[in-house]
Chains A and B, each alone.
Chain A
Amino acid sequence: MSEWERVASRLAEVNKPTRYTGGEYNTIEKDWNAVDLKVALAFPDVYEIGLSHLGLRILYEMINGHPRMLAERVYAPWKDFQEVLRSEGYPLYALESKRGLKDFDVVGFSLQYELSYSTVLTMLDLAGIPVRSVDRDESDPLVIAGGPCAFNPEPMADFIDLFLIGEGEDVIIELLETIMAGRKQGWDKARMMEELAKLPGVYVPGHFTVEYNADGTIAGIHSVSGHKPVRAVVRDFNHAPSPKRWIVPFMEIVHDRVAYEIQRGCTKGCRFCQAGMIYRPVRERDPQVIMDSLKQLVRDTGYEELSLTSLSSADYSHIRQLLEEACGCFTPAQVNVSLPSLRIDSFSVDLAKTFQSNRKGSLTFAPEAGTERMRRVINKGVTEEDLMVASEAAFRSGWQKLKLYFMLGLPTETEEDLEGIVQLARKVEKLGRQVYPKTNALRITVSVSTFVPKAHTPYQWHRQISVEETREKQRYLQENLRSKVIELNWHDPVLSRMEGIFARGDRRLGEVIYKAWQKGAGFDSWADEFKYECWNEAFAEVGIDPDFYLRERPYDEILPWDHLDSGVSREFLKEENERAKRGILTADCRDNPCTRCGVCFNLGVGPRLVGDGRG
């Protein structure tokens, strides 16, 4: 029995064992002896979440497409299987070869949300790799990370050798080729880091020093190497690589479908939205490229559902034609087509009618805020009438379930805005009752999350509301939204608090993460696993007041991520924050003049809309 077979013989003891076996259709298993560089692509959460993530799929196929490299996958094992690995003395392994992560040259983490940080440490530790960068030597893999969290990666600076900021597909091959060349030349880690830091999008936290003022604010961030990290960007998104060998899992995963990115970026300019800032500009793919890819993907996966994804798919220039063509092509073959997000208008409801012949499910609208004033503040120029028209269209088209998304604690929010949420929900309920006077199936789900200010957005200076304030607002909604039809749900305010601390934290939080992890933190985004006491003890031991990171910050304060350039200028963010305070809308540059956010000029890229000649 091989070593791994010994572990496998215990898989019947654990929940969802196919998380750990590999062998899914379309996985790529390359010969270890035929390549010079091995990369483990790691996602710090369970398999069914990690494999649902598009970004790692793109990189997996790009790296494996290189004749001298291979990439394998690894996800965070659930606690039952962690126990098996520990008791069998087998390291955390990649699914393809079953080799421990220590055998790889590079381990690359995708950091999609702050509450996955402690799980990164768990994974490194299970693999027998020292969790802190300074404790790793030449025999350890390089530990790199990317994803939206890399736009303020400071809390993870102690653990990650190098961050990739921005769109990884732009630079990953160049990065890995440099590492391969360096290995051949016998560069040590320091020399390697020096060379890698020259590449676009690369940020080596060890090349920067941070000084603090007596009050805890940052006095200065100094680049030792002189480089200033600038976000990587895909300039030709139309031809940018997208997965062709789409891995088909055995078990059900969170997004159990083919996902195809029809465009990158969103310029709606919602001021709270980090994705809307860090993935600029808008770049659409040609409908023909999309259709060709979809046909190939459906044929080679056998999947029964495909999704035309992007940050705002209803905004794609030719969305109606594309959707109709896709449905015409795939519906007869029993393949469902879907869009992940809808705008609040009857056009979007029409789109939904095209692809959802079954209206038993729900439609989701995200007004985000309760009053028109508040929505102008966040630059979500949706009117109450828009919502009523869209809701009525949805009800009249046969949907009986609507979901409405809101945020609590947005800048300048008053009681009136909370009341606005109640009133909006009530009006939609009334509308629903008019259309469906007799049914019990009518359901309005009101989902509220706590607003978490993020780095590189116009609200990066803004204060985050406290757990107590959040609870008070939630109580208000609960008391005022009692109804058989309305279902209210919300995010755990404590998790939002933690997310906010790390979203705008600095590198002093590394010690807190380390200590909390040592005390047993891990899988923090899983409400049942989250251990608040571990974190509170860690903050106390390190001597850090977490509220320091949630406070409002003046414009002249140095922010922990100020040395990282997202392409969007600080001036633009500031201007947007000021316009927010005055409730002035900023138009989408898709069909309006340039808003001078700076991204096109700073990164040497342009928006691309299909058929408008700007491509």
Chain B
Amino acid sequence: MAVAEYRLCFTKGSSVRFLSHLDMAKTMERALRRADIPLAYSEGFHPHPKMSFGPALAVGISSLEEYLDVETVADIPAEELQERLNRSLPEGLRILAAKRCLKRPKPLNAVINRAVYRLTLETEPSRRPAVMEILEHCMSSDRLEVTRVNKNGQKVVNIRPWLHNLKTEAFDEAGLQVSVTGEIGSNGNLRPDDILQLLPFPVKVRNIVRAEMWHEEHGIVVKPLDLC
């Protein structure tokens, strides 16, 4: 019987950015066991630990803010859980905060509907102003069409309803940082590389980081740790 539930906020560093969602689940599960956290398990022939992650992150993208809910069969102070788990995690994964939930929280995937991505791009210096202008202009467009490829073929989608904010900032000679706030979850998904399709010429992507996630409704922002 689960007696306590915790919400964890963690980073997925560059060195582990290629872990798939499934790899991440296994890695966390094993780390929790190494840390001797008494996990609650489901019933049945194949008991699995009661843990659930927030929105999946595409392979190759690191993150400053990921979330995980986990249930235990013993009540442990959240700080102790965090400390023990951090000692058992492989390099690149780090628990930033742990909170013992006051009540049974709504699932992470049901509440998180915004994600911020930071893309570090490289362009030819001469093209940079144009790139910046095209991207900045997105916010005042009505439609933004991109092509998505899945196993059923190609599909043109309008990502404009999912784009909530976009800012660009130049650095170095050729560098450009783009911050995009997009919809995530059941109402639609903005993918960080969607916006690259809006450019008339290819740019080099140095890296993409998911920087933040939250719940937003009627302009009010609530962080996942404040929803449990």
Contacts and interface: CB of A to CB of B under 8 A. Distances in A.
A360 B44 CA distance: 13
B46 A358 contact: yes
A1 interface: yes
Interface string A1-36: 100000001011000011001011100000000000
Interface string B56-85: 000110000000000000000000000000
A476 interface: no
Contact of A250 (B19, B39, B45, B60): B19
Nearest to A17: B18
B92 interface: yes
Nearest to B41: A334
A210 interface: no
A159 B83 CA distance: 50
Contacts of B206: 1, 9
Contacts of B4: none
A328 interface: no
Interface stretch (B22-30, B132-140, B157-165, B182-190): B22-30
Contacts of A261: none
Nearest to A27: B90
Interface in B19-55: 19-20, 22-23, 26-27, 29-34, 36, 39, 41, 45-47, 49
Contacts of B168: none
A24 B30 contact: no
Contacts of B15: 21, 23
A17 B46 contact: no
A12 B192 CA distance: 14
A303 B31 CA distance: 9
B45 A12 contact: no
Given A1-B206, A25-B90, A302-B32, A12 B60 contact: yes
B30 A248 contact: yes
A299 interface: yes
Nearest to A251: B23
A303 B30 contact: yes
A302 B30 contact: yes
Interface residues of A, number: 25
Given A9-B206, A23-B91, A25-B90, A18 B30 contact: no
A301 B59 contact: no
Given A12-B60, A299-B34, A302-B34, A360 B45 contact: yes
Main secondary structure of the interface of B (DSSP, over half): mixed
A25 B41 contact: no
A11 B30 contact: no
Nearest to B13: A23
Given A17-B18, A24-B90, A11 B29 contact: no
A236 interface: no
Contact of A18 (B19, B34, B41, B89): B19
A252 B29 CA distance: 14
Interface string A412-444: 000000000000000000000000000000000
A315 interface: no
Interface in B77-118: 88-92
B44 to A, nearest CB: 9
Contacts of A511: none
B170 interface: no
Contact of A302 (B33, B41, B46, B60): B33
A251 B19 CA distance: 8
**Size bracket of the B interface:** 20 to 34
A177 interface: no
A21 B60 CA distance: 11
A300 interface: yes
A9 B91 CA distance: 19
B196 interface: no
A456 B45 CA distance: 45
A333 B60 CA distance: 33
B188 to A, nearest CB: 23
Given A334-B47, A358-B46, A12 B29 contact: no
A535 B26 CA distance: 41
Given A250-B19, A302-B88, A25 B60 contact: no
A131 B54 CA distance: 49
A23 B22 CA distance: 17
Nearest to A20: B18
A334 B59 CA distance: 29
A17 B19 CA distance: 8
B215 to A, nearest CB: 29
Interface string A280-313: 0000000000000000000111111000000000
Contact of A23 (B39, B46, B90): B90
B16 interface: yes
Contacts of B20: 251
A357 B206 CA distance: 50
A250 B27 CA distance: 6
Contacts of A302: 29-34, 88
A17 B20 CA distance: 9
A12 B23 CA distance: 15
Contacts of A17: 18, 59-60
Contacts of A248: 27, 30, 90
Nearest to B39: A334
Interface string A324-366: 0000000001100000000000000000000001101000000
A530 B19 CA distance: 30
Contacts of B41: 334
13 contacts: A12-B18, A12-B59, A18-B19, A18-B23, A23-B15, A23-B90, A23-B91, A23-B92, A251-B23, A302-B31, A303-B33, A304-B33, A358-B46
Interface of A: 1, 9, 11-12, 17-18, 21, 23-25, 248, 250-252, 299-304, 333-334, 357-358, 360
